[in-house]
Each structure stands twice: as C-alpha cells, then as structure tokens.
Chain A
Amino acid sequence: DIQMTQSPSSLSAFVGDRVTIACRASQNINNYLNWYQQKPGKAPKLLIYAASILQGGVPSRFSGSGSGTYFTLTISSLQPEDFATYYCQQNYNTPPWTFGRGTKVEV
C-alpha cells in the first residue's frame, strides 16, 4: 500500500495567517492527490483534487501544489471557519486508497 505522511500533525495559527500543510507519498503518485477538510462531528469535505484543482464552491484562499511524492495545501489567509483537520488522500493506479493521518489547524 502507498503510505501518506502529513506534517505537521497539528499547528497553531491566527486569523489572517498563511498556512501550509505538507503531504508526502511513499512512492510516486504523479498528481493523484486529493485534500479534504473535516470539522468535528462532520464528514470530510473535498477541497482540492488532482493535487491542484479547486473543487467548485471552495474559496480561492485554498490552493494545492506538488507532484510525484511531495504535495502541499496552502491557505493564503486563514479564516475562522478554516480551523479544522485536513487530510490528504491518494488514488494512484489501483486501490487501496489511503489517507494521511491528518493535520489539525487550531488557534
């Protein structure tokens, strides 16, 4: 299975901060990488797919980049509603699909 490693596992930030979360794959996954946001007690919500394509309705302050084994999710100006846990997920080639362990963004 492809292992996904996120860093950091948690971070503290303020409203208005630029935040970057990293995700590393255990092998080349090209750009078969998705990012999700999860708030407590809620299902994950898709933010970005194919490493850098913003899902419809997602604010433009979210962006994704990377290819191969290293990827980042950036929030350009953190808003109060962005405090949540973020997960990367790979879907390269064939299942099983795997997720990173998550990055919790908190005050």
Chain B
Amino acid sequence: QVQLQESGPGLVKPSQTLSLTCTVSGGSISSGSYYWSWIRQPAGKGLEWIGRIYTSGSTNYNPSLKSRVTISVDTSKKQFSLKLSSVTAADTAVYYCAREVWDDFGDYSHFDSWGQGSLVTVSS
C-alpha cells in the first residue's frame, strides 16, 4: 500500500518561500498513470487544489496560485516538492500531498492516497 509523507518547515516568514517535500513509499512514483498533487486546507475551511505533476515533469497549476507555485519531482528519491513564493498569512494551512489515479478504463480519476498533512504557518 503506497504511503505519502510530507516534510518541511512548519513556520515561514511573510514574503519568503514555502517549501515542502512529499516522500512516496510502498510503491513506485514513476510507474503507472499517476499524477502527484498538492492540496491545502486552511484551519476550519475547505480544500484547495494547488497543482500536480506527472513523472515526466509535466505540471498543471491552479490559476489562482500559478504565478507563485512550482512543483517538481525527483524520481530517484521517490519525492515530489512544492515551492510557494511570496507567502502571506493567507497561505497558512495544512498542506497535503496526494496521489491521483485513474480507473481501469482510464476515464475517471480520483485522489486515492494522501499524506497525513503538514501544518505551515506564515508569521514573522
């Protein structure tokens, strides 16, 4: 069973860059038709999809964050990473990494595996 684990600083100063890494274990990061996503959740609020990466390096980003987001992958380390620049207090949230998979017919995708979440607080 694949497992995902986020890691990174829990506190980031305003205007700096938030950096998180997701380590994949119990399965391959580069085989199969998987996309690897970042999703965040401010305290007491809903879920916001940030973006995703395919193992080829192809990315998609949420337009609301696109100018500040970079997602990268290191298949040799079985990791993918999130960088969010110029952060403000509004970026304070629990950040999840998740695997997006397709059904057997390749028609429908869904997030089937999630990390436990990493709380990042933006504060001076």
Interface residues of B (CB under 8 A from A): 45-49, 51-52, 60-64, 96, 98, 103, 107-112, 114-117
Shortest CB distance B46–A (Å): 4
Contact present for A43 and B103 (CB under 8 Å): no
The interface size of chain A toward B, counting residues with CB under 8 Å, comes to 26
Contact present for B52 and A53 (CB under 8 Å): no
A50-B103, A89-B111 given; 17 more Cβ-contact pairs under 8 Å: A42-B116, A43-B96, A43-B98, A43-B115, A44-B47, A44-B96, A49-B110, A50-B107, A55-B112, A87-B46, A91-B110, A95-B61, A96-B62, A99-B47, A99-B48, A100-B46, A101-B46
Count of CB-CB pairs between chains A and B under 8 Å:
65
Contact present for A1 and B63 (CB under 8 Å): yes
A contact patch SS: loop
Contact present for A49 and B63 (CB under 8 Å): no
